[in-house]
Amino acid sequence: MKPVSSRLSRRALALSVLALSVFTPSAFAQDKPPLKILVGFPPGGSADVLARMVAEALKDDFGPIIVDNKPGAGGRIALNLVKAAKPDGQTVIILPSGPMVLFPHVYKKLDYDAVKDFTPISQIARFQFGVVSGPASNVKTVAEMVAKAKTDPNSASYGTPGAGTLPHFMGVLMEQSAGITLNHIPFQGGAPANTALLGGHIGYKFDVVSETAELHRTGKVRIIAVTGNQRDPQVPEVPTLRESGVNMDATAWFAMYGPAGLRGETLARLEKAMMKIARDPVTKDKMVKLGYEVIGSNANDLAAAQRADLARWEKPIKATGVQLD
């Protein structure tokens, strides 16, 4: 009979061989923590849906990916977490353009620098907003809306998901472009604004097209125009503002950013993967069905787009006098 110590040694060796067969090279690659994509908004919203779509498309190149929702303060809580993260490519954020191009003009004291504290990675997709007419206004066209606002300014109240948001300033741009006065009513999110619109408490609403498209299709509200330079595939029968006689077009975008200092091969890997997603027909088709114009830019193009929109929004925002704490 073999000594116990000999049998144990053989067993330990066998277990070691089994462990090596299980931990393949791909498993060893998981020494690094999984890529974390932060989202500054609750689950189920447009930013969250897009982030999960991107995570699914990236898993072949990056392995398991965590989508971590950190809602609050219009995305600023998540942005500050990214700002404080190490520039090792393990923590990024997907967010709409508002916090990067509007907030620097809107907030008196912003706790981040939208340019210096982050590294642009890729502009993912562009999207537009709808001018939505509710039961209280009973308006079917932009021409009717403009005429009614000029004769009865008190009737032209519009709701948005909040003061300082992109829909708020879409309304401001329309005021300036159409030569009318609109009364802005901010709500705590898109759902309360929808409730007020359906209940006849406000005449209009500015919001992302996808948030109101179903209500439009069922006839509960009417999207009378979209704010981009081309019609939205979700509601192709709805004209643009320019087609409706208002000399204006404005869109927003979703993008991926990392903390400042992200560079070299780490940045290049993320940038390349995001550009690859934009060329993937399956992922692209999903985005188009959500009403997005797919971009998939490189880091330099995102930085240029951010600079351009920072400059574009400065004047209309300052003209409103809106300053938030």
Measure the CA–CA gap between 1 and 77, rounded to whole angstroms. Answer: 67
Per-residue pLDDT tens over the stretch 188-216? 777 888 899 999 999 999 988 988 899 99
Query: How is the beta sheet containing 118-127 ordered, strand by strand?
Result: 65-69, 35-39, 91-96, 252-259, 118-127, 293-294
Can you name the residues that pair with 129 across neighbouring β-strands?
208
Q: What is the pLDDT of residues 114-127, one digit of tens each?
A: 999 999 999 999 99
**Is the pLDDT reported for residue 253 higher than 90?**
yes
pTM, to two decimals: 0.80
Counted residue by residue, the chain has a size of 325
In the chain the beta strands, taken as DSSP E runs, fall at: 35-39, 65-69, 91-96, 118-127, 129-133, 157-160, 183-186, 204-208, 222-226, 252-259, 293-294
Q: What average pLDDT does the segment 145-160 reach?
A: 89
Longest dimension (CA), the chain: 105
User: 186 has which bridge partners?
Assistant: 160
CB of 65 closer than 8 Å to CB of 58: yes
pLDDT digits (tens, 9 = 90+) for 64-86: 899 999 988 888 999 999 999 99
The mean pLDDT value of the chain amounts to 87
The residue to which tokens 């967010």 are assigned: 95
The rounded percent of the chain whose pLDDT value lies above 70 is: 90
Residue type (1 letter), 186:
P
CA distances from 104 to 115, 184, 197, 227 (A): 10, 21, 30, 23
Rg (CA), the chain: 24
Pairing of strands 65-69, 35-39: parallel
